[in-house]
Structure 1
Amino acid sequence: MPVEFDEYKQTRETVDTLAIDPGSNAHKILSFLAQHPNLGFKPAEIAEEVDIPRGSLNPTLSRLADQGLVEHEQPYWSVTDDDRLAAIGASMYSMAAFEEQHADDEFEGWADSDVDPREHR
């Protein structure tokens, strides 16, 4: 569905959102650094621990620093004390627990019997 681009762009710039996809390089880095909140690591040490190519590591660290999630004091990187990280961790834990609890549930064919709430206003 098309969107009003300028409005969308402005919304994306002003809303304080944080999107860290599970399995992404950013997620791997943050997960590792969050496990060691009082330590700083050199890029080579981070790359070795999270198995991310060095060419991808530095741009990702810079992007995370721009978002205020990691901090850098040459040559070390560390996770910041940011409430958003705790929220992400709690959400990820909840999603994993939900997936584990409902792993055997069958969702195939749900669209045939689903109800559109807009039709019942």
Structure 2
Amino acid sequence: MPISADRFETIDDGNDGPSPGTNAYKILSFLAQHADQAFTQSEIAERTAVKSGSVGPTLVRLRERGRVEHRGTYWRVSDHVLSLDAAANHAAAVAASREEEPFEYDDWQEHAVDPRKQRD
């Protein structure tokens, strides 16, 4: 059954990352916390309490989405995920620091460009 274009736009396609509580979330969170190491599937199963039969398929899906890397029998969080996390943390820190700075309207107005005085 077709859906409207508006409804289509509201569908969550999952690009924001795995939902909390899912196997993918547990595995990705674990690997991100241990970003300086790589683990086998059995080590991941032991440390995340994800059933060993679910770890492999979950890792494959995460690899297809570029969230983990695989070499030999070892898996680790991808550099891409780490760089996104670092960028998000930096943006949050900048935003938080700006919230503490007082806003001086008079200073801003002094440097503002009057659109009536602009020429093409």
Q: Do both share a fold (TM > 0.5)? A: yes
**Cross-structure match for 1:102:** none
Structure 1 CA distance for aligned equivalents of residues 72 and 64 of structure 2:
16
Counterpart of 2:3 in structure 1: which amino acid?
V
Bigger radius of gyration = 2
**Cross-structure match for 1:24:** 22
Find the residue that maps to 1:77 and give its secondary structure: strand
Is residue 69–residue 85 contact of structure 1 (8 Å, CA) maintained in 2?
no
Structure 1 CA distance for aligned equivalents of residues 73 and 32 of structure 2:
18
With normalisation by structure 1, the TM-score equals 0.58
With normalisation by structure 2, the TM-score equals 0.58
Find the residue that maps to 1:30 and give its secondary structure: helix
Say whether 1:35 aligns with 2:16: no
Please state how far the C-alpha of 1:49 moved relative to its aligned partner. 0.2
**Cross-structure match for 2:50:** 52
Please state how far the C-alpha of 1:56 moved relative to its aligned partner. 0.7
How many residue pairs get matched? 84
Q: Which stretches in structure 2 are left out of the alignment for 5+ residues?
A: 90-120
Which residues of 2 match residues 63-74 of structure 1 at below 5 A?
63-74=61-72
Superimposed CA distance per residue, residues 17-60 of structure 1 (whole angstroms, 9 cap, x where no aligned partner):
23310010000001100011121101000000000111111000
**Cross-structure match for 2:85:** 86
Distance 1:49 1:16, change over 3 A: closer
CA RMSD of aligned residues (A): 3.1
Q: Which stretches in structure 1 are left out of the alignment for 5+ residues?
A: 91-121
**Cross-structure match for 1:109:** none
Distance 1:85 1:33, change over 3 A: farther
